[in-house]
Amino acid sequence: MRKINAVDTILWSSGWISNVIIIAIIFFLFYNWMPLFRMVSPIEFFFGTKWYPTVVPPLYGTLPLLVATIEISLFSLILTFPISLVVTIFMTFVAPKKIRYLLKVFLEFFSSIPSVVLGLIGLSILSSYLQNVFNLDTGLNIFNASLMLTFLTIPMAASMMEDFIVSFPIEQVEGAQALGATNMEILWKVMIPGLKGPFASIAMLSMGRIFGETMIVLMVAGNAAIFPLSVFDPAKPLSATIAAEMGETAVGTSHFYALFGIGAIIFFITLVINIIGEWVRIRYEREMRRS
């Protein structure tokens, strides 16, 4: 029988503490959300098209907030993934060793920049540029928020891609080289098809990171609770709604409970996204072990 040491005990305790914390968060969200349905129907909350908590009677339709969040997240992911892949390819196959090291350090440094700094750049610089170039009523819109979220997410995605490419099975690379394939042919015809599982996992993890971001979308998305018809329309994502309104909301009111409901929606969607990403990663590892 294997003796349980202090490290095993710490890891076991940490795992259970994490589970207890997650359960406590879920209970806290539900405890402060369920009273809302004594005042507002679930149909109105989930599928209502108007979010006007200060009118009489108040309207708590979260559908435009959810649509805005999904649009910003998807557009940001569409920008993030190819840019991260290009950065990774340059670091791995093009840049000299010293430049590669400097780029890796720069990515890690850039990933530590607070999101409020990126929000400030989007608010003070990019918004006026977009407004002037595209002749918009406001430069605070979905495109601005998505671009700033892209800058926030690229370091993480590029770093993970680089790790997967560097650790790709050397036997497959040497086999392709023996057949006369160039580095780019190996990348596009061997590595990327072989890494579709990890890349899908990176996409889901990036999506989870983008979906729950608050400060950037609060500052540059436009804070308009409407259905956005284009990427240049202002919007009000779920997380920005909580950040903007919770400080001025009285405890125990329907508005207070509705904001906790929004928090629960964000929590569960992010949880599902991360579970899917982890499932993709585990499935890929099993396929690699079988092969």
Mean predicted confidence (pLDDT) in 69-93: 90
pLDDT per position as a tens digit, 147-196: 999 999 998 898 888 888 888 778 888 888 888 877 778 878 888 877 88
Mean predicted confidence (pLDDT) in 198-205: 84
Q: Which pLDDT belongs to residue 43?
A: 94
Does the pLDDT at position 289 exceed 80?
A: no
Q: Which pLDDT belongs to residue 171?
A: 82
32-290, CATH topology level? MetI-like fold (1.10.3720)
Mean predicted confidence (pLDDT) in 11-24: 86
Domains in the chain: boundaries: 32-290
pLDDT per position as a tens digit, 208-260: 889 888 899 999 999 999 998 889 999 999 999 999 999 889 998 999 999 99
Three-class secondary structure assignment of the chain: CCCCCHHHHHHHHHHHHHHHHHHHHHHHHHHCCHHHHHCCCHHHHHHCCCEECCCCCCEECCHHHHHHHHHHHHHHHHHHHHHHHHHHHHHHHHCCHHHHHHHHHHHHHHHCCCHHHHHHHHHHHHHHHHHHHCCCCCCCCHHHHHHHHHHHHHHHHHHHHHHHHHCCCHHHHHHHHHCCCCHHHHHHHHHHHHCHHHHHHHHHHHHHHHHCCCHHHHHHCECCCCCCCCCCCCECCHHHHHHHHHHHCCCCCHHHHHHHHHHHHHHHHHHHHHHHHHHHHHHHHHHHHHC
Q: 142 vs 165, which has greater pLDDT?
A: 142
Q: Which pLDDT belongs to residue 3?
A: 59
Q: Which pLDDT belongs to residue 290?
A: 67
Instruction: Give the mean pLDDT of the chain.
Output: 87
